[in-house]
Amino acid sequence: MIEQKRILGIDYGAKRVGIAITDPLRIFAYGLTTIANDLKFWDNLKKIFTEFEVELIVLGYPLKESGARSSSTELIEKFKTELEKEMKIPIELVDERYSSSIAKQQVLESVTSKKKRRNKGLIDKNAAAIILQDYLEMNQ
């Protein structure tokens, strides 16, 4: 069987970056990890690209409830430019308006340990999976 190229989802944040990946058949997305947004960020992200054959990045694009740009929109646009330079593969922006609140709800419903529920990284990688799953559903 030929290994299918995958799609990577990113929920970018100033402190942490949630990462999700599709299955080889690109049917579903799952939260992979959360990377600290620090000096090792690019090295850590490149390791993921080495491990999975990624051909497209889906990046969460924060808009206000009204659809207008938010304070985070500019931050995401700068990150997208950097990401294009570093990774040299196509990047799609996907509206992420409700991804974090949906991710929080999923964590509350599926994680029984209160201590684990407080792990913000869990929410970040789940938010990335929601953004990526939305993209998959819109493009099937």
- For the cut 80, the answer to whether the pLDDT of residue 119 exceeds it is no
Q: Going by DSSP bridges, is the β-strand pair 54-61/29-36 parallel, antiparallel, or unpaired?
A: unpaired
Q: Is residue 56 part of a domain?
A: yes
Q: Is residue 24 part of a domain?
A: yes
Residue showing tokens 């040299």: 88
pLDDT over 70 percentage in the chain: 80
- For the cut 90, the answer to whether the pLDDT of residue 66 exceeds it is no
Sequence-separated (6 or more) residues with CB below 8 Å from residue 108: 117
- What is the domain extent for residue 36? 6-138
Q: How far does CA 99 lie from the centroid of its chain?
A: 10
Q: Is residue 100 part of a domain?
A: yes
Beta bridge mates, 63? 69
Band (pLDDT 50/70/90 cuts) for residue 85 is very high
Q: Name the domain count of the chain.
A: 1
3-state helix, strand, coil in the chain (%, to 5): 45, 25, 30
Query: pLDDT digits over 1-51, tens only?
Result: 456 799 999 999 989 999 999 999 999 999 999 999 999 999 999 999 999
Token pair in block for residue 39 = 């000096």
Give me the CATH number covering residue 19.
Answer: 3.30.420.140
Q: Is residue 13 part of a domain?
A: yes
Band (pLDDT 50/70/90 cuts) for residue 137 is confident
Q: Is residue 16 part of a domain?
A: yes
